[in-house]
């Protein structure tokens, strides 16, 4: 009985196991064929990829200017492209030490003279010329050697030591003397091949400036007159006597090359007619300089592009701004009648001035406040200001059109 009972138990266990298997299989079949009202877990659908954001350039107005930031005299400088209509900075061109600029007459090329060291902050000193396309700012020619160029200290001096001829034939570079650094030389480069075609002692001009004129000629304020020089040897080919009692503050050449101006420290102006291609009749007038002021520096004396207006920055001779090189008063003159047609009182005293191509805007910069200020030339009122511009914004470039 005991043996039969054990066998029965074994059969019972196997039968139960088989029953469990059958029930499980039935349950699986029932679930797979369940009613359509039962919701099955959906298969996840992958999301479409997120498109990368597209950076569209901000629309530019019709008044593009470039402001040089000398970074307080560091070995690297920056040229900021700014839309004066929106007061937005669009791009920055990195340059090197103490850059100087000249535009080709047709406005397609920007010439840049700057300096670098072969070991970053030390090593051999290299003075070089680079040429940029003015539309793209791409480099067309790079690192053309121009050794021993004259350099300014911290802040640029405009087109005093580097300039182009109005016919796009020559580039002129002022250099240190070879044996005596004070015996400055004027080097003439071919503007197409960039080869040196002439070099001679810097002409002894009263304001240390020569102007590139037409037909390979230069203009220079000599003691007692205006001299026309041959651009390839620096020798005088014509002399026009002028009033000798004037202490020269600055000379200017009109944008149309038809007049040359000598400005005296006391506000006297001598206007020489160049319209015939030969210096001719000279006339003299006087500007009303208010008490406590003097004529500003060359970078504060600017023409409108058509030459009909002259903006003259006046620098204080007393008070807190005395000796600062900043102007807090700008007179505007009509160059036909020499009547004063406007006056600007900058809230932010200015070191550099420039005028837009269409004459509707005047620009000023102050390296200390780090601002670019825009004035409407019809109302002589401030119309915009760009704050916190770089480290020490200075010279303003307006590309030719």
Asked if residues 352 and 299 have their Cβ atoms less than 8 Å apart, the reply is: yes
Contacts of 399 (CB under 8 A, 6+ apart): 64, 66, 103, 107, 110, 134, 357
- The structure tokens 């061109």 sit at 93
For position 371, what pLDDT does the model report? Answer: 96
Contacts for 125-134 with beta carbons within 8 Å, 24 or more apart?
129/171, 129/189, 129/194, 132/93, 133/108, 133/109, 134/103, 134/107, 134/108, 134/109, 134/110, 134/399, 134/400
Q: How far apart are CA 150 and CA 148, in angstroms?
A: 6
Widest distance between CA atoms in the chain: 153
Answer yes or no: are the C-beta atoms of 358 and 377 closer than 8 Å. Answer: no
Q: How much is the pLDDT for 135?
A: 87
- Global pTM reads 0.83
Contacts of residue 171, Cβ cutoff 8 Å, sequence gap at least 6: 102, 111, 129, 162, 163, 164, 165, 188, 189, 190, 191, 194
| Inter-residue contact 107 to 90 (CB < 8 Å) | no
**Cα–Cα dist 314/350, whole Å:** 10
DSSP β-bridge partners for residue 354: 363
Cα separation of 350 and 341, whole Å? 20
- Token output for 202: 């810097």
- Answer yes or no: are the C-beta atoms of 226 and 240 closer than 8 Å: yes
Between the alpha carbon of residue 191 and those of residues 261, 328, 395, the distances in Å are: 27, 39, 23
Tokens of 274: 């160049």
Output the pLDDT for position 31.
38
What's the rounded Cα separation, in Å, for the pair 146 and 190?
A: 12
Here the tokens at position 254 are 């009109």
Which H or E element spans position 31?
helix 2-32
Task: Count how many residues are written for the chain.
Answer: 401
Domains present along the chain, CATH in parentheses: 99-202 (no CATH), 291-401 (2.130.10.10)
Which pLDDT score is estimated for 361? 98
- Tell which residue, 97, 58, 71, 84, has the closest CA to residue 397: 84
Q: Confirm if 206 and 248 have CB atoms less than 8 A apart.
A: yes
- Give DSSP secondary structure letters for 350-396: BSEEEE-TTSSEEEEEETTTTEEEEEETTTTEEEEEE-S-SSSEEEE
Q: What is the pLDDT of residue 49?
A: 57
pLDDT by residue, tens only, the chain of 401 residues: 444 444 444 434 444 444 444 334 444 444 344 444 445 556 666 656 555 454 445 556 789 999 999 999 999 999 999 999 999 999 999 999 999 999 999 899 999 999 999 998 999 999 999 999 998 899 999 999 999 999 998 898 888 999 999 999 999 999 999 889 899 999 999 999 999 999 999 999 999 999 999 999 999 999 889 999 999 999 999 999 987 778 899 999 999 999 999 999 889 999 999 999 999 889 999 999 999 999 999 999 999 999 999 999 999 999 999 999 999 999 999 999 999 999 999 999 999 999 999 999 999 999 999 999 999 999 999 999 999 999 999 999 999 87
Rounded CA-CA distance 372/366 in Å is 7
**Can you tell me the distance from the alpha carbon of 55 to that of 325, in angstroms, rounded to the nearest whole number?**
41
> Which pLDDT belongs to residue 154?
86
Torsion-angle region of 277 (φ positive above 0: left; ψ -120 to 50: alpha; else: beta)? left
Angle at CA of residue 99, ends 174 and 97, nearest 5°: 110
Residue 16's SS3 state is helix
Query: Which residues does 253 contact at the CB level (< 8 Å), separation at least 6?
Result: 211, 213, 219, 259, 260, 261
């Amino acid at each position: 009985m005991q043996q039969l009972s054990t066998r029965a138990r074994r059969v019972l266990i196997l039968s139960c196991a088989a029953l469990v298997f059958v029930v499980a299989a039935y349950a699986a079949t029932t679930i797979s064929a369940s009613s359509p009202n039962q919701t099955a877990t959906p298969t996840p659908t992958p999301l479409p990829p997120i498109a990368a954001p597209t950076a569209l350039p901000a629309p530019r107005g019709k008044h593009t200017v470039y402001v040089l930031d000398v970074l307080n005299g560091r070995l690297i400088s920056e040229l900021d492209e700014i839309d004066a209509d929106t007061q937005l900075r669009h791009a920055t061109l990195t340059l090197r030490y103490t850059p100087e600029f000249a535009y080709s007459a047709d406005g397609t090329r920007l010439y840049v003279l700057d300096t670098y060291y072969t070991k970053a902050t030390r090593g051999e000193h290299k003075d070089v010329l680079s040429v940029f396309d003015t539309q793209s700012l791409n480099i067309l020619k790079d690192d053309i050697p121009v050794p021993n160029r004259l350099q300014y200290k911290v802040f640029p001096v405009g087109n005093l030591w580097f300039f182009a001829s109005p016919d796009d034939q020559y580039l002129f570079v002022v250099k240190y003397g070879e044996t005596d650094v004070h015996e400055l030389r004027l080097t003439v480069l071919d503007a197409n091949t960039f080869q040196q075609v002439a070099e001679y002692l810097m002409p002894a001009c009263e304001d240390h400036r020569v102007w590139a004129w037409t037909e390979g000629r230069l203009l220079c304020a000599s003691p007692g007159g205006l001299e026309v020089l041959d651009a390839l040897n620096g020798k005088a080919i014509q002399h026009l006597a002028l009033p000798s009692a004037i202490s020269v503050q600055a000379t200017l050449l009109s944008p149309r090359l038809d007049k040359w101006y000598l400005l005296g420290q006391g506000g006297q102006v001598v206007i020489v007619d160049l319209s015939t291609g030969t210096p001719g009749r000279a006339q003299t007038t006087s500007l009303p300089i208010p008490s406590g002021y003097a004529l500003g520096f060359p970078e504060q004396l600017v023409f409108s592009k058509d030459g009909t207006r002259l903006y003259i920055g006046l620098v204080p001779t007393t008070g807190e701004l005395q000796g600062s090189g900043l102007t807090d008063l700008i007179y505007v003159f009509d160059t036909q009648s020499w009547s004063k047609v406007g006056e600007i009182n900058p809230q932010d005293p200015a070191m550099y001035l420039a005028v837009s191509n269409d004459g509707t805007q005047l620009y000023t910069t102050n390296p200390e406040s780090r601002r670019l200020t825009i004035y409407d030339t019809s109302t002589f009122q401030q119309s915009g200001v760009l704050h916190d511009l770089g480290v020490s914004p200075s010279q303003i470039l307006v590309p030719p059109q």
